[in-house]
Amino acid sequence: MKKTVLITGAARGIGKQTALFFAQKGWNVIATMLSLAEADDLLAYPTISCYELDVTSTESIRLAQQKIAQDHKNIDVIINNAGVGYRSFVELSEDEKIDAIVNINWLGVVKVCRAYIPVFRAQKSGLFINISSIAGLVNLPLGSFYHSTKQAVESFSECMAYELYDLNIKVCTVQFGNAPTSFQKSVTTSPATSIKSYNDLMKKVTDLLHKKSNKNTNLTPLITQKLFEIASQPNREFRRYTIGFDANFMRLLRSVLGYRLFNAIIRKYTLK
């Protein structure tokens, strides 16, 4: 029997590429997005079904869940992929943008998991793959909001895994660096200001992230392949999976050097 995966934020970027990869591997794919107008070429695949779902809205999740249940009797894996970026100085941050990134990146994961735990419990099986980021393990300048939401996903996922262990519901997180998708281009940033050091730092960090994204040409296929492997052979124990050279290097460097030395390297690399 074909397995079924539900992917949030599947209209573009890693979410879309993951949906296509799973479909090509013979899985039934439930691709969710804010609007079906974003479905684009996903609809051309007979094993991909598209549904509108806003991860920030409990009501939207409920309505989508009802429609999905009519078409799919079983869901094996849920990949919580929907996410946005916000690169800003704390002083210049805006309530609306803070609320948006918290509601999508963290509470969106919480609400989707909350809605589907009863489904997995009734099935007596299921796997949540919560997409975090290397930003969930290390901290960089201008990442106060993005990094904190990703660290929240890490803590939430690990705590939830304990609750669900005896129910045969598995949980893991996945971290990776900057993939060459449209994500960095769509990141909201704080506007230029009269504070020169702020403007200089914004330009330096933005240039570094775009340069790194453009270099990681092989990262997207590594991510989709690893997500497929995790989904195909889920681990009963909670796991954090790190994908790509950047993410693995940063994780290893911090663990070996410790906080103080690692922090000094980040300061030297980004502030000088």
**Tokens 């479905």, residue located:** 39
User: Any residues with CB less than 8 A from the CB of 17 and at least 6 apart, and which?
Assistant: 181, 220, 223, 224
Give dist(CA 119, CA 75) in Å, integer: 8
Per the CB < 8 A criterion, the answer to whether 132 and 153 are in contact is yes
Amino acid in the structure at residue 50? C
Q: What is the CA radius of gyration of the chain?
A: 19
Exposed (0-12), middle (13-18) or buried (19+): which is 153, by Cβ within 10 Å? buried
β-bridge partners, 241: 174
CA torsion through residues 63, 67, 72, 78, sign:
negative
Give dist(CA 177, CA 180) in Å, integer: 10
Q: Which tokens belong to 37?
A: 């107008």
Per the CB < 8 A criterion, the answer to whether 84 and 105 are in contact is yes
Question: How many other C-beta atoms are found inside a 10 Å radius of the C-beta of residue 166?
Answer: 7
Decide if 269 is catalytic.
no
Active-site position among 146, 241, 259, 269: 146
Q: What is the DSSP letter of 190?
A: P
- Residues marked active site are found at 146
